[in-house]
């Protein structure tokens, strides 16, 4: 079996380590949002990492406020991918929230809002 990432051959061990790191980042973001009192649910239906609800929301009854994507600062986000993420959030009446993991492994959040110019 041949495994490649960005047209570069990688070993199964490298793939496994990458998966563990991504899972660890997801858990860290999940835990961080929970400590802030937010309600965090999976975002698979929207193609996101998580749906995030405000503290007082009741999932299933209320809608999520945010669609959250986890990115590493070292990875580049293509403009068309960014636009697609923003459009999905906008079309579902949610706000796009990016969780950026920096080089020190700190989590930085960026809220993306639409602005109308009249």
Is 90 a catalytic site residue?
no
Is 53 a catalytic site residue?
yes
Of these residues, 24, 53, 69, 74, which one is catalytic? 53
Is 63 a catalytic site residue?
yes
Q: Is the dihedral of CA 89, 93, 99, 100 positive or negative?
A: positive
Of these residues, 20, 24, 34, 63, which one is catalytic? 63
Of these residues, 66, 69, 85, 94, which one is catalytic? 94
DSSP string, 5-72: ETTEE--HHHHHHHHHHHHHHHHHHHHHHHHTT-EEEE-GGGTSSEEEE-TT--BTTBPPSEEEEEEE
By annotation, the residues acting in catalysis are 53, 63, 94
């Amino acid at each position: 079996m041949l495994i490649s990432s960005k047209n570069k051959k990688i070993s199964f061990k490298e793939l496994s380590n990458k998966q563990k790191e991504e899972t660890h980042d997801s858990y860290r973001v999940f835990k961080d949002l929970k400590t802030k009192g937010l309600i965090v649910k999976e975002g698979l239906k929207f193609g996101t990492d998580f749906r995030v609800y405000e503290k007082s929301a009741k999932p299933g009854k209320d809608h999520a406020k945010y669609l959250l994507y986890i990115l590493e600062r070292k990875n580049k986000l293509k403009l068309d991918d960014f636009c697609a993420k923003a459009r999905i959030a906008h079309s579902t009446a949610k706000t796009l929230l990016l969780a950026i993991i920096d080089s020190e492994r700190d989590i930085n959040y960026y809220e993306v809002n639409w602005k109308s110019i009249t």
